Amino acid sequence: MEFPIGVLVSGRGSNLEAILLHIKEGKLNVEVVAVISDNEDARALKIAEEYGVDGYYIPCIEKKTALVGEAERKYIELFQKKGVKLVVLAGFMRILKKDFLTAFKGRIINIHPALLPSFKGLNAQKQAFEYGVKISGCTVHFIDEGVDTGPIILQEPVPVFDDDSVDTLSRRILKHEHEIYSRAIQLFSEGRLKIEDRRVRIIAGSTEEERS
Ligand code: GAR
């Protein structure tokens, strides 16, 4: 079996789709063993189904913004049962709490549509656009107890043009999200990410091409 990953989603699922497509094309050597959504209507669940991946809707009624209580326990149990070695947040709109973080310590990553530490939280593209930055981008990072504060794995800059809107900028950033997320997942699966305090060191690959 390829390296087993679990994906958490809440909505559109374009990052999940990019991951599944890269796997199908042989560009990413992992297996998505479970997708869990906290939203029954998430398009992401349909995408999982289209790709023949097990998708689960598990609601969390206790709280709107965090994964807590009974639901948190179910998420942990399901991923553990499936042997998940990396948890990938792909537009999952809840904060993870201690029990989940402990169960998958150092093995949870997120994609954020801005160059962290700028523009944390919701609507990052809009925040960056309204601030007037000339360069924004996207960030893949490990999850820690804070919101969008964990050690940074990869970042990609994306220019902001004069005639951009929040929408055109978001779409440009999204294309880059789709690329760097798979790259980060591949690096993790190869054991090539080493966290040293706040820094994530990428251990060089073995082929000449990767080293150049
Ligand atoms: C993506 O742009 C992702 O970066 C963002 O939500 C979108 C989900 O889209 N995540 C965050 O803002 C997390 N703070 P998707 O469902 O199409 O992948």
16 and 38 fall within a common domain: yes
pLDDT at 198 exceeding the cut of 90? yes
80 and 116 fall within a common domain: no
List the structure tokens of 172: 């440009």
Which phi-psi region, left, alpha or beta, contains residue 110 (left: φ > 0; alpha: ψ -120 to 50)? beta
Is ligand 1 within 6 A of the CB of residue 90?
A: yes
pTM for the whole structure: 0.96
Work out the average pLDDT over 154-164. Answer: 98
100 and 46 fall within a common domain: yes
Å from CA of 161 to ligand 1 middle: 21
Q: At what angle do helices 14-24 and 43-50 cross, to 10 degrees?
A: 10
Q: What local confidence, expressed as pLDDT, does residue 207 receive?
A: 61
83 and 142 fall within a common domain: no
Which phi-psi region, left, alpha or beta, contains residue 88 (left: φ > 0; alpha: ψ -120 to 50)? beta
> Collapsing DSSP states into helix, strand and coil, what is residue 37?
strand
122 and 201 fall within a common domain: yes
200 and 117 fall within a common domain: yes
Counting from 1 in the atom list of ligand 1, the atom nearest the Cα of 43 is 16
User: What's the CATH code of the domain at 47?
Assistant: 3.40.50.170
144 and 78 fall within a common domain: no
Counting from 1 in the atom list of ligand 1, the atom nearest the Cα of 138 is 4
Å from CA of 199 to ligand 1 middle: 23
Per-residue pLDDT tens for 2-39?
999 999 999 999 999 999 999 999 999 999 999 999 99
Q: Which of 105, 130, 160 is the last residue of a domain?
A: 105
Is ligand 1 within 6 A of the CB of residue 109?
A: no
162 and 79 fall within a common domain: no
56 and 77 fall within a common domain: yes
> By residue range, what is the domain housing residue 144?
110-212
Q: What local confidence, expressed as pLDDT, does residue 205 receive?
A: 85
Split into its structural domains, the chain has a count of 2
Phi first, then psi, for residue 120 (nearest 5°) are -75, 165
| Active site annotation includes 112 | yes
Q: Which of 105, 133, 160 is the last residue of a domain?
A: 105
Quick one: pLDDT band at residue 208, thresholds 50, 70, 90?
Answer: low
Per-residue pLDDT tens for 53-93?
999 999 999 999 999 999 999 999 999 999 999 999 999 99
Q: Which of 105, 123, 138 is the last residue of a domain?
A: 105
Is ligand 1 within 6 A of the CB of residue 128?
A: no
Mean pLDDT of the chain: 96
86 and 123 fall within a common domain: no
